[in-house]
């Protein structure tokens, strides 16, 4: 997030709550201390601009500027803490039960603005003096505070009104509490372990919380824009604030994202994981709610089934994207579309029913389906690294069409052309050599044994399999051996395996081509004839004495995943294939490090592995 975007969002999120509910008694404008704290936080956003204009002393260090900003926003945080305390200790009552002063959506949105306003800017992140560690602690502290308040509310609820409810209702409320405090805590735990994907997931959950808060503004009678913190817990209070804290500039600089498309693929995987958790909790919530709600069982059963479908769809999407990301992308996009449909149907069923309402749990779950689906679609199509490694995505595209960037699947029959990029992308087919190379031109003299590979056999009597056999030792100098070769080789029919082998027979014609592997395999006896055709009606026969040639090495056996060193070293290998090789074949990582086509992010990732062989290859690469 850029500094200017952060400033604009902070101003909006600080000023909007002034017209929203702050607690059961007043809006934010009804409390003078809220207005003063808001104005002070807005004023703190002007610090970098005042320094640039020369109003502030030029000797003001970045660390001092960050400290001044934190101090200016501290009153807003104090106001929020006081509001939370009054939410438990306030004397507001309803139905003979003490419900506290409550908290409103104004607190939810205003807290996000204060968090953004208090963060340091990019220009203030000096080397060794970043505030990343501070904001990491703030994000974890907000998640921990939510858990503490949730547990406290459960205890108070059980003491005050637990005796008046059925066991199924108590379990449903407990599941709702786990949803509101457990889901952001799950993302915070992954963020604590240093996983960028979980940090991004926390941001997405923050957007879900904001959407639920704005939903509450338009559904005061069902979702409620003010609730009892004492009995209902924090709900979505900390979701947006945690998301804002983890995008602090210092945190972003301290956490290095995975290279290439891996960051976005990881985010999609974590969103599917979170979908499974939310949908499972929704199943439990609706399942226990319908036990005592006889009038609303129809709609509740419907949304319960929809939640089960969401669980199954999330598992399908997670498994698809975790395997082959290119092939699984269409499946993940389909799951995202299914989540949108589930959200629409769920909102329609609950919203149109006379016996049920869209409560805060349903609003949060539906918001999650929409936000998650949009995020998944953007993550798998918009980033440049995703388009580069996985190719463009179009509607109606199948798994085969999305498997690789344009051109990577067009040459799946490797071995047909020596310089094609697909010959490196499909190692299994690269072992098939064109056995009928001698029939490609009418200018060649027919040689039945070379033109019919099915009838040819090796010296050991094994039938030809399409793979060039090692070249046998030639006859002795006394054997008047001759060979039949075309004077001109047809374009594009030179077998790569044979092209690497130096020709043993001296040829005087400048246009003579080296023997192809298929032609050499078709020679079944010690006596051969070499005929170099110069015209259609004439041939030139030349006796040769072929010196003994060493046996050619066997073709390189592919690894368990089908990749070889030649593929890892080929500059024409697609970038996604290089990333797959690096992930699946540690022994081929030095080859990838030396490949001139390896992209910088993958090189950085290889350099972090600490593998001596890879480091040596990177050193040789840099010394070129």
Which of 97-101, 160-164, 341-345, 393-397 is predicted with the least confidence, judged by mean pLDDT?
393-397
Q: What is the pTM of this model?
A: 0.66
Confidence at residue 260, expressed as pLDDT on a 0 to 100 scale: 84
Q: What is the pLDDT of residue 414?
A: 37
Mean pLDDT of 209-215: 94
Assign 543 a pLDDT band (cuts: 50, 70, 90): very low
pLDDT of residue 96: 74
Residue 448 confidence (pLDDT) = 41
Calculate the average pLDDT of the chain.
Answer: 77
Q: What are phi and psi of 405, to 5 degrees?
A: -60, 170
Model pLDDT, residue 396 = 59
Q: Higher confidence at residue 223 or residue 208?
A: 208
* pLDDT tens string 411-434: 333 333 333 333 333 333 333 333
pLDDT at 281 over 70: yes
Q: Give me the pLDDT at residue 497, please.
A: 39
- pLDDT, position 397: 56
pLDDT at 587: 87
Residue 178 to residue 172: CA distance in whole angstroms: 10
Kindly state the percentage of the chain with pLDDT values over 90. Answer: 43
Q: Which of 239, 241, 234 is nearest to 156 (CA)?
A: 234
Per-residue pLDDT, averaged over 24-48, amounts to: 93
What is the pLDDT confidence band of residue 129, given thresholds at 50, 70 and 90?
low
Q: Is the pLDDT of residue 239 over 90?
A: yes
Q: Above 70 in pLDDT, residue 580? A: yes
- Residue 228, pLDDT > 80, answer yes
Tens-place pLDDT, residues 581-622: 888 888 888 988 889 888 887 888 888 888 888 888 888 887
Does residue 404 or residue 15 have the better pLDDT?
15
Q: How far apart are CA 159 and CA 180, in angstroms?
A: 21
> Whole-angstrom Cα distance, residue 285 to residue 304?
9
Structure tokens at 281: 């909790």
What pLDDT sits at residue 559? 64
Higher pLDDT, 78 or 326: 78
pLDDT value at position 558?
60
> What integer pLDDT is reported at residue 555 of this predicted model?
52
Give 315: exposed, middle or buried? Use CB within 10 Å, 0-12, 13-18, 19+: middle
**Mean pLDDT value across residues 467-496:** 39
pLDDT score of 221: 74
pLDDT band at 395 (very low <50, low <70, confident <90, very high): low
> Could you give the percent of the chain with pLDDT greater than 70?
72
pLDDT at 144: 96
Q: How far apart are CA 459 and CA 469, in angstroms?
A: 10
pLDDT value for 561 = 66
Give the CB-side neighbour count of residue 301, counting CA atoms within 13 A.
Answer: 8
Beta-carbon contacts of 158 under 8 Å, excluding residues fewer than 6 positions away, are 170
**58 or 522, which is more confident?**
58
Least confident of 14-28, 50-64, 513-527: 513-527
Whether pLDDT at 486 is above 60: no
Integer CA distances (angstroms), 353 to 92, 295, 576, 596, in order: 32, 10, 49, 63
């Amino acid at each position: 997030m850029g500094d200017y975007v952060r400033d604009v969002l902070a101003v909006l999120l600080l000023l909007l709550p002034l017209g929203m509910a702050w607690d059961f008694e007043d809006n934010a404008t009804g409390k003078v201390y809220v207005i003063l704290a808001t104005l002070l936080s807005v004023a703190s956003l002007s610090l970098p601009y005042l320094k640039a204009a020369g109003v502030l002393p030029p000797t003001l260090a970045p660390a001092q500027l960050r400290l001044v900003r934190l101090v200016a926003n501290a009153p807003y945080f104090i106001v929020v803490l006081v509001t939370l305390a009054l939410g438990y200790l306030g004397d507001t009552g309803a139905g003979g039960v003490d419900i506290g002063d409550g908290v409103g959506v104004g607190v939810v949105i205003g807290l996000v603005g204060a968090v953004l306003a208090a963060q340091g800017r990019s220009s203030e992140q000096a080397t060794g003096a970043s505030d990343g560690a501070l904001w990491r602690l703030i994000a974890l502290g907000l998640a921990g505070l939510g858990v503490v308040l949730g547990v406290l509310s459960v205890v108070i609820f059980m003491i005050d009104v637990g005796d008046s409810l059925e066991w199924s209702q108590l379990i449903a409320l407990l599941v709702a509490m786990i949803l509101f405090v457990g889901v952001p805590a799950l993302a915070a735990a992954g963020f604590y372990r240093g996983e960028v994907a979980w940090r991004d997931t926390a941001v997405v959950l923050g957007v879900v919380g904001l959407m639920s808060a704005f939903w509450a503004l338009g559904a005061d009678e069902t979702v409620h824009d003010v609730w009892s913190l004492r009995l209902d817990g924090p709900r979505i209070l900390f979701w947006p604030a945690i998301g804002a804290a983890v995008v602090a500039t210092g945190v972003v600089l301290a956490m290095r994202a995975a290279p290439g498309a891996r960051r976005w693929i990881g985010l999609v995987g974590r969103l599917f994981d979170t979908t499974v958790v939310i949908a499972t909790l929704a199943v439990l919530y609706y399942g226990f709610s319908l036990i005592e709600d006889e009038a609303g069982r129809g709609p509740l059963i419907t949304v319960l089934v929809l939640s089960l479908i969401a669980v199954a769809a999330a598992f399908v999407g997670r498994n698809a994207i975790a395997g082959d990301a290119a092939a699984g992308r269409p499946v993940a996009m389909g799951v995202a579309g299914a989540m949108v449909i589930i959200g629409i149907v769920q909102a329609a069923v609950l919203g149109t029913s006379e016996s049920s309402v869209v409560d805060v749990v349903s609003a949060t779950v539906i918001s999650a389906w929409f936000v998650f689906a949009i995020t998944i679609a953007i993550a798998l199509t918009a980033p440049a690294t995703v388009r580069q490694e996985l190719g463009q995505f179009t509607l109606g595209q199948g798994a085969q069409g999305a498997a690789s960037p344009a051109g990577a699947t067009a040459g799946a029959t490797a071995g047909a052309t020596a310089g094609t990029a697909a010959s490196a992308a499909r190692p299994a087919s690269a072992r098939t050599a064109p056995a009928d190379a001698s029939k490609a031109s009418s200018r060649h003299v027919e040689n039945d044994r070379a033109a019919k590979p099915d009838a040819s056999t090796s010296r050991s009597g094994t039938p030809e399999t399409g793979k060039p056999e090692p070249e046998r030792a030639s006859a002795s100098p006394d054997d008047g051996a001759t060979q039949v070769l075309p004077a001109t080789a047809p374009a594009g029919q030179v077998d790569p395996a044979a092209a690497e082998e130096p020709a043993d027979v001296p040829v005087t014609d400048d246009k003579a081509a080296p023997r192809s592997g298929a032609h050499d395999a078709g020679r079944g006896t010690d006596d051969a004839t070499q005929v170099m055709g110069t015209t259609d009606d004439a041939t030139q026969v030349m006796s040769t004495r072929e010196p003994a040639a060493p046996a050619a090495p066997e073709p390189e056996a592919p690894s368990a995943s089908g990749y070889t060193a030649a593929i890892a070293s080929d500059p024409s290998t697609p970038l996604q294939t290089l990333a797959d090789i690096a992930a699946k074949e540690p022994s081929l990582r030095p080859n990838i490090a030396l490949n001139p086509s390896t992209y910088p992010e993958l090189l950085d990732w290889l350099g972090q592995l600490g593998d001596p062989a890879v480091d040596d290859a990177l050193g040789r690469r840099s010394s070129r």
